[in-house]
């Protein structure tokens, strides 16, 4: 079995590379390589059968020099503090790349949300919120959905926090249901933002969206909506993958029938309109675009050599290991890195937080327009840095994000 990568070290590799261009003062650089605060908690949950289970949960606030901590909470079996720290660091650069006034944070609970009943999931969420209470708040740290958490989980967090405060505090989380102060457009924001950056990248690379042979790994919120939207725009979805395996059809997969098949059977496998493959087999198929939108480290030294694609757009956080990244750059693959490509989610989270703080309701059209403006601007800025320094897009995005955070740290100075 492949050794589990050390995610945080992987994340720092990009920061070290960015610092070759930035030459930050030693103290500032060292500070950027360490999380500000991390909390590990134990979460006792009464299970439906009357037994007790104990889950480990984490919240890491990586850097909050530019504003309150911001980042999702994921429920994922085997998640570690190392992985949460890496994800919190990525959130820090991501918020800075799209220039929204937040720091970076992330949370996670080591559990398999797919086998928990709704009641068990609710009790776990409420107790986790209770344990996080000293750390979170609209001005301190604002959680959001991530892998295997959704608007229902956000509603429970908001309710538990509000009950403890004694009044309703919708802006303690983003990604809430619209009926509780959630923002229009939040559910599809990550995939819409990703598509905006893909369109920009395609223009820059002289490619064409029509018939773009695309494989999408992951059929959750980001994977599903990205595939669906690209399909609507004329791309050919040749491959899809979920946690059970992959399917492939070079002539294209029909997105509405596959969605129905997944709902009915719980998996993509054995779909009439495609062949079953392993994820690694799918990665080896000739494509124009791959969207990894599932787990960390999905593209790694074990499968990178066989990849035959022109572009990778990272819907997930940290889907390409640093070693695989080097191989892809050598192959000339254009990579839209996570901290740029999937930032649409946190951008609309920012809109949701702003609306909540000001008790305003923005229209869908307004949200889409503002999202497009922010994503296009960030893409252009990263592209310029990449060209000016003759470097890849991940390094360029990291240069931009880290530079903005470093400037905030420098201006604030060190307390006391
Ligand atoms: N979980 C998403 C991410 O990784 C969104 C975070 C947020 O909206 O705060 O970017």
| CATH, residue 92 | 3.40.50.10860
Together in a domain, 12 and 159: yes
Pocket mutation for ligand 1, best pick of 190, 191, 222, 355 (most atoms within 8 Å of C-beta)? 190
Pocket mutation for ligand 1, best pick of 346, 371, 374 (most atoms within 8 Å of C-beta)? 346
Together in a domain, 277 and 326: yes
Return the pLDDT at 330. 97
- Does any ligand 1 atom lie closer than 6 A to the CB of residue 174? yes
For 97, the token pair is 């790349």
The side-by-side arrangement of strands in the sheet containing 37-46 is 37-46, 52-63, 104-109, 69-75, 141-145
Separation of CA 367 and ligand 1 centre (Å): 17
Pocket mutation for ligand 1, best pick of 62, 89, 154, 349 (most atoms within 8 Å of C-beta)? 349
Together in a domain, 96 and 209: no
CA-based nearest residue to 412, from 36, 15, 22: 36
**C-alpha to C-alpha distance for 267 and 7, rounded to whole angstroms:** 28
CA-based nearest residue to 292, from 231, 189, 215: 215
Return the pLDDT at 1. 42
Say which residue the tokens 């740029």 belong to.
340
Instruction: Ligand 1, residue 102: give the atom nearest the CA.
Output: 9
Separation of CA 71 and ligand 1 centre (Å): 5
Residue-level length of the chain: 416
Phi first, then psi: give them for residue 344, nearest 5 degrees.
-60, -35
Q: Tell me whether residue 134 is in a domain.
A: yes
Separation of CA 72 and ligand 1 centre (Å): 5
**C-alpha to C-alpha distance for 62 and 42, rounded to whole angstroms:** 21
Of 287, 315, 336, the residue that ends a domain is 336
Return the pLDDT at 126. 99
Would you name the residues annotated as active-site residues?
106
Together in a domain, 125 and 202: no
**C-alpha to C-alpha distance for 101 and 190, rounded to whole angstroms:** 18
Together in a domain, 142 and 202: no
- Does any ligand 1 atom lie closer than 6 A to the CB of residue 71? yes
Together in a domain, 164 and 28: yes
Together in a domain, 53 and 132: yes
**C-alpha to C-alpha distance for 207 and 200, rounded to whole angstroms:** 10
Q: Tell me whether residue 370 is in a domain.
A: no
Return the pLDDT at 232. 97
CA distances from 119 to 18, 47, 163 (A): 45, 8, 18
Instruction: Ligand 1, residue 94: give the atom nearest the CA.
Output: 10
Low-confidence residues of the chain, pLDDT below 50? 1-2
- Does any ligand 1 atom lie closer than 6 A to the CB of residue 151? no
Of 336, 355, 376, the residue that ends a domain is 336
Return the pLDDT at 6. 74
Together in a domain, 161 and 17: yes
Q: What is the CATH number of the domain that holds 250?
A: 3.40.50.720
Separation of CA 175 and ligand 1 centre (Å): 9
Return the pLDDT at 3. 54
Range of the domain at 92: 7-170
Q: What share of the chain is helix, strand, coil (3-state, %, to 5)?
A: 50, 20, 35
Q: Tell me whether residue 25 is in a domain.
A: yes
């Amino acid at each position: 079995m492949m050794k589990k990568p050390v995610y945080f070290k992987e994340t720092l590799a990009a920061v070290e590379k960015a610092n070759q261009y930035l030459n930050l003062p030693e103290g500032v650089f060292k500070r950027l390589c360490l999380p500000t605060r991390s909390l590990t908690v134990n979460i006792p949950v009464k299970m439906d059968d009357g037994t007790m289970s104990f889950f480990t949960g984490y919240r890491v606030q990586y850097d909050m020099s530019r504003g309150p901590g911001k980042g999702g909470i994921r429920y994922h079996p085997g998640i570690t503090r190392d992985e949460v720290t890496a994800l919190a660091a990525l959130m820090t650069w991501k918020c800075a790349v799209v220039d929204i006034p937040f720091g970076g944070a992330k949370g996670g609970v080591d559990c398999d949300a797919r086998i928990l009943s709704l009641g068990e999931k609710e009790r776990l969420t409420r107790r986790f919120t209770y344990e996080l209470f000293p750390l979170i708040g609209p001005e301190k740290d604002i959680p959001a959905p991530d892998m295997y958490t959704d608007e229902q989980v956000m509603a429970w967090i908001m309710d538990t926090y509000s009950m403890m405060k004694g009044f309703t505090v919708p802006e303690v989380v983003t990604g809430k249901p619209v009926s509780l102060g959630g923002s229009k457009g939040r559910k599809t924001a990550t995939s819409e933002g990703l598509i905006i950056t893909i369109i920009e990248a395609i223009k820059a690379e002289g490619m064409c969206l029509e018939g773009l042979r695309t494989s999408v790994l992951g059929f959750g919120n980001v994977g599903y909506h990205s595939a669906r939207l690209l399909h609507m725009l004329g791309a050919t979805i040749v491959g899809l993958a979920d946690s059970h395996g992959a399917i492939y059809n070079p002539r294209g997969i029909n997105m509405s029938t596959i969605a129905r098949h997944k709902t009915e059977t719980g998996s993509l496998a054995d779909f009439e309109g495609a062949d079953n493959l392993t994820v690694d087999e799918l990665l080896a198929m000739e494509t124009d675009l791959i969207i990894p939108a599932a787990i960390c480290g999905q593209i790694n030294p074990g499968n990178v050599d066989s990849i035959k694609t022109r572009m990778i757009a990272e819907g997930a956080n940290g889907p390409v290991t640093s070693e695989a990244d080097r191989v892809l750059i050598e192959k000339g693959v254009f990579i839209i890195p996570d901290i740029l490509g999937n930032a649409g989610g946190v951008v609309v989270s920012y809109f949701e937080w702003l609306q909540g703080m000001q008790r305003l309701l923005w229209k869908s059209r307004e949200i889409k327009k503002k999202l497009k403006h922010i994503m296009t601007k960030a893409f252009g800025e990263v592209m310029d840095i990449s060209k000016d320094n003759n470097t890849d897009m991940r390094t360029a995005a990291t240069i931009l994000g880290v530079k903005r955070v470093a400037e905030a740290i420098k201006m604030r100075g060190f307390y006391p």
